[in-house]
Amino acid sequence: MNLKTQKGFTLIELMIVVAIIGILASIAIPQFSAFRIKAFNSAANADVKNGQTIIEAAYTNSYTYPTTAAQVTSATLTLSSETWASSDGVTIGHTGSKTSYTIASKHIGGDIRFTASQNASITETTAPQGVALAVGDF
């Protein structure tokens, strides 16, 4: 058997390729995790904005804010005649009186809790990842 006629990669060449792939993966995986958290936070932010719109629409119809206190995880919440649907993994909550309201949302994989009230501002609070929104959070 002639060694010059055999084709293939040497062990050193294969080890270099595996090392390069490992280096690229160690750079890409943390970036991917950061993008996922940012996407989860964006979903929770969008849900609180949608909730604000729905509550203000209910106010426009009856000149009072919905007073139903509720918390919903990945489902729909009905306030007066309006329906507020949360994104997958997002917990939404609402408390209100006839003249004011507070709504909150947080994605289970996100690290920010979004809260809004009748003054149309949304506040962001750091919250632990992997923890859903609790009733006392809004």
Per-residue pLDDT tens over the stretch 31-82: 888 899 999 999 999 988 888 888 888 788 888 887 766 655 545 666 655 6
Does 3 reside within a domain?
A: no
pLDDT at position 137 is 60
pLDDT at position 11 is 92
pLDDT at position 82 is 62
Q: Which residues of 59-84 are buried (b: 16+ CB within 10 A; e: fewer)?
A: beeeeebbeeebbbeeeebebbebeb
Per-residue pLDDT tens over the stretch 89-119: 888 887 888 888 888 889 989 999 999 988 8
109 class by beta-carbon count within 10 Å (0-12 exposed, 13-18 middle, 19+ buried):
middle
Does 1 reside within a domain?
A: no
Count of domains forming the chain: 1
Q: Tokens 């919250």 — which residue? A: 127
Q: Which domain holds residue 58?
A: 10-137
pLDDT at position 113 is 92
Does 118 reside within a domain?
A: yes
Per-residue pLDDT tens over the stretch 26-43: 988 888 888 999 999 999
pLDDT at position 75 is 56
pLDDT at position 67 is 75
Does 21 reside within a domain?
A: yes
- Please tell me whether residue 8 adopts helix, strand or coil conformation: coil
Does 5 reside within a domain?
A: no
Does 2 reside within a domain?
A: no
Does 4 reside within a domain?
A: no
Give the residue with greater pLDDT, 5 vs 29.
Answer: 29
Does 82 reside within a domain?
A: yes
Q: For residues 106 and 116, give the distance between their C-alpha atoms in angstroms, rounded to a whole number.
A: 12
